[in-house]
Structure 1
Amino acid sequence: MGIKPSKIALLISGVFSLTALPTMAAESNQSITDETITVTGTRFDRTSQQQLTVINTVERADIERLNPKSVADVLETMPGVSVVRNGGAGQNVSVSLRGTNSSHVLVIVDGVKIGSATLGSVSFNTLSAENIERIEVLKGPRASVWGSDAIGGVIQIFTRQLKSDEGYIAAEYGSNEYLRGSASVGLAHGNGSSTLAVNHEQSDGYDVYQGAESETDDDGYQRNSFSLKGEQNLNEQWQVLWSGQYDKGHTEFDDIYGSGAADETDYANHVWHVGTQYSGEQLSSKLTLSQSRDYNENYRGDQKPQQTVDYETKRQQVSWNNQYDVTEGLNVNAGVDWANEAVLGDYAQDERDILGAYILVGQQWEQLLAEVAVRYDDVENIDSETTYNVSLAYQLNDQWRVSATTGTAFKVPTFNDLYWPGSGNPELLSETSTSYDITLDYRHEAVNAYISVFKNDIDNLIAWAPTGAYDDYGWEIWLPDNINQAEITGVELSAQFALLNFEHQVSYTYLDAEDATTGDMLVGRSESELNYSLSYQWQEFDLLANYHYQSKRYEGYDQYLDAYHQVDLSLGYAVTDNWQLRVKANNIFDEEIISKANYLSPGRELFLSVSYNAL
């Protein structure tokens, strides 16, 4: 199956119609085309005009108006991002970029890779949205800069950062006995500053799974987050940087088979880094040492004594990254990454080293911008991988730019895939991909829009397969193997514009994602997703309305989950310059929303928060 030409034509015509908006938008006297600085594309600061990949961002002010209960709530509002939930805010969540697997998304916190090396996934439900300053989402492969996992893209989360003597304190109460308390303060120390932030959340929850007769209790959660982030300027060129985040909590879930298995988990995750940075006229250089830990203790809550099962992943990392401006139009980025991954458990191999080196060259010739990146990764006991990205952009005029990129990426097999006792396959290869992307951008006054057509072919996908051998009981032995392929094509549209004193954001993603071995649609995917947000500021009031549409989602075996519509409202009132009240209503029409079979979303929810900001 390919992308239907009629749908592409319709989408492109929609983008071209946006050129009529500046005339109407001028009445609002607002501009949203200020230059956005991002770092995920090259690891160094770049403006949006210097980037050759699609990068969407969410800032702290947007997060506060959205008032999310999870990081997934924030990500779901962004184009090309699809979220599948096992229930509400405290439950497991998988995040997909442009139709790829959730394990094909590299997730980074303050420059440090996080996630489990045993499962190959990230526990988004353990992260607190209250401790986030900014999120950048890069679309398409970026293994040529970041290494393994970046097949679908990169999500980078930046923790809270306040100026000296700034601070805030907030409290919130809402549906399902939800309770939150948060505080943060910026501290000065000589020629530097640090930000300290703490957050506590808890909820009694609700019964997330329908059909488990032995699991009809509410599934609540609590989470505590602590973060510290700072910098110290040694002189005009040298800085010392540090950040750390600790997340600890408890989640209740359902044993969906009623087998008496675990239905509660305690987790304690952390990520930290320390480093130094040099900024000269032509050369910038960063050297960082970091560690991330993913730890879970699973057990059944009604068993005494409790039988626990522990899972732990630790990742030590050292990175040295450099950027050199050779001439006004020519720059070179290069770096080396080393990581050691270690897991807890009775694995045949419980740790491995990964060494990677990359170089990226960018050149500007008036209207033409070009970029080439190449990276080599050597993974212990697995074949090495060489990946690349080649990109070109041409500025047609002051408003229009067209860009094209192609690249490769890979995903290293997890420890469970390779070495799980009794069912691992140490002969596995890395999953690999080749992708193509053409993007048309439009920027003028109060309009910022793009349309992107993309294709991603993924090979060597790991799935369970029969081996032809039999165990002592006559059962055929199945093991993970590189047997599957996927072909993903799609169109992504996004537009931001100001019109009649309102700020509008609209995004639409059309996806044709199929299993190349069977021709079936990939499980968990929808053909269409639409997001629309409307924001308005009037005196001391601000209003944000969000609409999300998800078309029917494929569940396998010719089964589909129903399409759904969700509308959320957030209303804020500034009582004084420092005090603010906010009311947030989720799913105001109380629609039954199921993104994974038999897992219910919480229905209509209402929250009230009060905050004090010291400016």
Structure 2
Amino acid sequence: MGTKQSNIALLISGVFSLTALPTVAAESNQDVTIDETITVTGTRFDRTSEQQLTVINTIERSEIERLNPKSVADVLETLPGVSVVRNGGAGQSASISLRGTNSSHVLVIVDGVKVGSATLGNFSFNTLSPESIERIEVLKGPRASVWGSDAIGGVIQIFTRQLKSDEWYVGAEYGSNDYIRGSAGVGVEHGNGSSTLTVNREQSDGYDIYRGADSEKDDDGYSRTSLSLKGSQQLDQHWQALWSGQYDRGNTQYDDIYGSGGADESDYANYIWNLGAQYQGDKLTSKFTVNQSRDYNENFRGDNKDVARADFETMRKQVSWSNQYLLADGLNLNGGLDWSNEAVLGDYAQDERDILGAYVLVGKQWQQLLAEVAVRYDDVENIDSETTYNVSFAYQFDEHWRLSATTGTAFKVPTFNDLYWPNSGNPDLLSETSTSYDMTLNYSRNTVSAYISVFKNDIDNLIAWAPTGEVDDNGWDIWKPANVNNAEISGVEFFTKFEIFGFDNQLAYTYLEPEDKKTGEMLIGRSENEVNYSLSYQWHDFDLLANYHYQGKRFAGYGLYLEAYQQLDLGIGYQVADNWQLRLKANNVFDEEIISATNYISPGRELFFSVSYSAF
């Protein structure tokens, strides 16, 4: 690690020696007034950008529309520190990594509800349509002290569409691989409240995603349908009722990569619902929610649904009570309780567990200095309990420059598969744990904003398959999950956006040194360098967008690397009339061969045309 650490030190010292460096604002949406950006993921309550003590990138609906993505992974990949590994195109599985951590080290929340599989340990981003999304917040670094398990790398919170009363839209799109989409949404007023209902349907014939020697040679298509409802009702001066629901149903075709007659298709049917009440007083804000989520997947062979059939289901019930109290000028107290019950379908030695958590967060402002301390305790049934913390400071030098530093711990509870999978689970597993450090310098002035963040994350008790020292009846070694691995991830993350001659620019660069401390090798699936650049321009009724992504070579294990690749996407939108808009999008313009997972091929050049009507 000596050489690697010196590389980072040189890079850091070089960057901070640039006195004219345009650095600051963690937000990546393209609003000009950075200070008006509000985020909730850091503390569960509204905070302006200058009140946040950790890096939070945001993407708003307007930016999603310009990107015209085919998957949530396409949106997330435009952000600094976010890396995507795809098993094919939009409808296939994709792993999201924050600052080099595992995909299972990312807590995913949809409208305040924790989602994902308790058997696999992560969330299937391919099941959610970008058309259903209003806003995304991506928090970097551990936030277990506020949210609990899984937030080792960070938190991704997704907010579904919300329209005002009498607002509505309809849209349609057609493109490569016989892709077709139809979507609609409407906002309805009811007394002192409103609700939004949206529906989206899309499908594609796909292409052959895998190039293994024994794999199937056929197109792998997908279809998905999303229905969402979101609303609120003001009951009186202080009380408000809240509700949301999301239903996603679809089908994905993939390849039996070993040609063994196994499953090559899956159906999924996932839902969430959330009911809540919020009290807003002069000093106290209190929110109580009850919710449930389901992650269901059925695998089978497409030519015979009874062959290789396997059903997987996770049910999660959650109750949360969160509070924010203004004790005095500049002194805030946050705290609350969380209870959840996770249950899985299958022949497990234990098929459900309860998790109870309690947290408290104190924030204090002294003129230019802002400090925050958070502590949380989680008791996980039949597994070790965990106490996590965050300590953060920020100093505002002047109206343009701000320096913040934070350290914290986080954990990831073992999955039901790790613990109780029939004949191979290990019920003695401990939670994976981490300790991280982060320092961020921010700059903001007029139409220029940027930040540079230096970070380090030490992760212990990583779960991996390992021999138990026993043999089976045939003399073969018995392998089971065990807490055998450790990792150290350090890096630098840079982001800036600025305007030149009417052109809006966004540039992001991430440098990673992700080391497996057991082998001394780079962590599998990571690369040292990743670059994103976006250029947009508004001219009369036209808007233009160019997105460039560079992914450095990825370590594939056994001394092998996947080749680096780059991708350029171009888009143009035309406002035909006040309400009508046409949009043309070309992905992978240079038809690059993109392989982000061994033998899995991303789409070549694609072209999409959409038309939409919005009554806003």
TM-score range for the pair, normalised by the shorter chain length: over 0.9
SS, match of residue 74 in structure 1: helix
Partner of 1:443: 444
What is the deviation of 1:212? 4.2
> Distance in 1 between the 2:179 and 2:19 partners?
41
Partner of 2:606: 605
Partner of 2:21: 17
What is the deviation of 1:306? 4.2
SS, match of residue 146 in structure 2: helix
Partner of 1:181: 182
Partner of 2:549: 548
> Distance in 1 between the 2:51 and 2:130 partners?
29
Q: Give the 5 Å matches for 1:323-342.
A: 323-342=324-343
The one-letter amino acid paired with 1:162 is: L
> Distance in 1 between the 2:573 and 2:208 partners?
31
SS, match of residue 256 in structure 2: coil
Partner of 1:46: 47
> Distance in 1 between the 2:610 and 2:376 partners?
47
Partner of 2:503: 502
Q: Does the 8 Å CA contact 1:32/1:447 hold for their aligned counterparts?
A: no
Q: Give the 5 Å matches for 1:440-519.
A: 440-519=441-520
Partner of 1:397: 398
Q: Give the 5 Å matches for 1:84-163.
A: 84-163=85-164
> Distance in 1 between the 2:11 and 2:562 partners?
23
Partner of 2:570: 569
**What is the number of residues matched between the two proteins?**
606
Q: Does the 8 Å CA contact 2:117/2:314 hold for their aligned counterparts?
A: yes
> Distance in 2 between the 1:19 and 1:352 partners?
45
Q: Does the 8 Å CA contact 1:176/1:205 hold for their aligned counterparts?
A: yes
Partner of 2:10: 6
Q: Quick one: structure 1 residues 444 and 341, their matched pair in 2 at CA, closer, same or farther if it must change by over 3 Å? A: same
> Distance in 2 between the 1:475 and 1:15 partners?
62
SS, match of residue 151 in structure 1: coil
Partner of 1:255: 256
What is the deviation of 1:31? 3.5
Partner of 1:197: 198
Q: Deviations over 1:354-373 (max 9, x none)?
A: 00000000000000000000
What is the deviation of 1:6? 2.5
The one-letter amino acid paired with 1:441 is: N
Q: Does the 8 Å CA contact 1:112/1:273 hold for their aligned counterparts?
A: yes
> Distance in 2 between the 1:259 and 1:32 partners?
57
> Distance in 2 between the 1:562 and 1:353 partners?
44
Partner of 1:290: 291
What is the deviation of 1:305? 4.4
Q: Give the 5 Å matches for 1:555-594.
A: 555-594=556-595
Partner of 1:27: none
> Distance in 1 between the 2:270 and 2:557 partners?
33
Q: Deviations over 1:36-71 (max 9, x none)?
A: 100000000000000000000000000000000000
TM-score by length of 1: 0.97
The one-letter amino acid paired with 1:495 is: T
Q: Does the 8 Å CA contact 2:82/2:97 hold for their aligned counterparts?
A: yes
> Distance in 1 between the 2:306 and 2:421 partners?
27
> Distance in 1 between the 2:537 and 2:167 partners?
26
Q: Quick one: structure 1 residues 307 and 555, their matched pair in 2 at CA, closer, same or farther if it must change by over 3 Å? A: closer
Q: Give the 5 Å matches for 1:310-389.
A: 310-389=311-390
What is the deviation of 1:213? 4.0
SS, match of residue 53 in structure 2: coil
SS, match of residue 9 in structure 1: helix
The one-letter amino acid paired with 1:9 is: S
Q: Percent identity?
A: 73
Within the alignment, does 1:520 sit opposite 2:521 as a pair? yes
> Distance in 1 between the 2:167 and 2:33 partners?
26
SS, match of residue 11 in structure 2: helix
Q: Does the 8 Å CA contact 1:33/1:445 hold for their aligned counterparts?
A: no
Q: Quick one: structure 1 residues 461 and 304, their matched pair in 2 at CA, closer, same or farther if it must change by over 3 Å? A: closer
Partner of 1:221: 222
The one-letter amino acid paired with 2:370 is: L
Q: Give the 5 Å matches for 1:206-285.
A: 206-285=207-286
Q: Does the 8 Å CA contact 2:262/2:307 hold for their aligned counterparts?
A: no
> Distance in 2 between the 1:514 and 1:300 partners?
38
SS, match of residue 51 in structure 2: coil
SS, match of residue 488 in structure 2: strand
The one-letter amino acid paired with 2:128 is: L
> Distance in 1 between the 2:293 and 2:421 partners?
22
Q: Does the 8 Å CA contact 1:454/1:491 hold for their aligned counterparts?
A: yes
> Distance in 2 between the 1:248 and 1:427 partners?
36
TM-score by length of 2: 0.97
What is the deviation of 1:514? 0.4
Partner of 1:529: 530
What is the deviation of 1:19? 7.5
Q: Quick one: structure 1 residues 95 and 14, their matched pair in 2 at CA, closer, same or farther if it must change by over 3 Å? A: farther
SS, match of residue 568 in structure 1: strand
What is the deviation of 1:35? 2.0
The one-letter amino acid paired with 1:7 is: L
Partner of 1:25: none
> Distance in 1 between the 2:73 and 2:540 partners?
31
Q: Does the 8 Å CA contact 1:33/1:446 hold for their aligned counterparts?
A: no
> Distance in 2 between the 1:568 and 1:413 partners?
39
Within the alignment, does 1:433 sit opposite 2:434 as a pair? yes
Q: Quick one: structure 1 residues 172 and 337, their matched pair in 2 at CA, closer, same or farther if it must change by over 3 Å? A: same
The one-letter amino acid paired with 1:406 is: T
The one-letter amino acid paired with 1:6 is: L
> Distance in 1 between the 2:308 and 2:564 partners?
40
> Distance in 2 between the 1:213 and 1:470 partners?
31
> Distance in 1 between the 2:485 and 2:153 partners?
17
Q: Does the 8 Å CA contact 2:86/2:600 hold for their aligned counterparts?
A: yes
What is the deviation of 1:9? 3.2
SS, match of residue 595 in structure 2: coil
Q: Does the 8 Å CA contact 1:584/1:607 hold for their aligned counterparts?
A: yes
> Distance in 1 between the 2:440 and 2:470 partners?
49
SS, match of residue 8 in structure 1: helix
The one-letter amino acid paired with 1:148 is: S
> Distance in 2 between the 1:452 and 1:98 partners?
11
> Distance in 1 between the 2:17 and 2:583 partners?
39
> Distance in 2 between the 1:581 and 1:463 partners?
49
Q: Does the 8 Å CA contact 2:515/2:523 hold for their aligned counterparts?
A: yes
Greater Cα offset, 424-433 or 472-481: 472-481
The one-letter amino acid paired with 1:18 is: P
Q: Quick one: structure 1 residues 281 and 227, their matched pair in 2 at CA, closer, same or farther if it must change by over 3 Å? A: same
Partner of 1:413: 414
SS, match of residue 79 in structure 2: coil
Q: Quick one: structure 1 residues 377 and 596, their matched pair in 2 at CA, closer, same or farther if it must change by over 3 Å? A: same
The one-letter amino acid paired with 2:80 is: P
The one-letter amino acid paired with 1:538 is: W
Q: Quick one: structure 1 residues 19 and 524, their matched pair in 2 at CA, closer, same or farther if it must change by over 3 Å? A: closer
What is the deviation of 1:330? 0.1
> Distance in 1 between the 2:330 and 2:507 partners?
34
Structure 1: tracts of 5 or more residues without a match: 21-29
What is the deviation of 1:308? 1.9
> Distance in 2 between the 1:505 and 1:444 partners?
15
SS, match of residue 326 in structure 1: strand
> Distance in 2 between the 1:387 and 1:279 partners?
29
Q: Does the 8 Å CA contact 2:23/2:451 hold for their aligned counterparts?
A: no
> Distance in 2 between the 1:212 and 1:171 partners?
38
What is the deviation of 1:466? 0.7
What is the deviation of 1:570? 1.1
SS, match of residue 34 in structure 2: coil
Q: Does the 8 Å CA contact 2:22/2:444 hold for their aligned counterparts?
A: no
Q: Does the 8 Å CA contact 1:205/1:220 hold for their aligned counterparts?
A: yes
Q: Quick one: structure 1 residues 441 and 536, their matched pair in 2 at CA, closer, same or farther if it must change by over 3 Å? A: same
The one-letter amino acid paired with 1:8 is: I
SS, match of residue 22 in structure 2: helix
SS, match of residue 163 in structure 1: coil
The one-letter amino acid paired with 1:234 is: L
> Distance in 1 between the 2:197 and 2:323 partners?
29
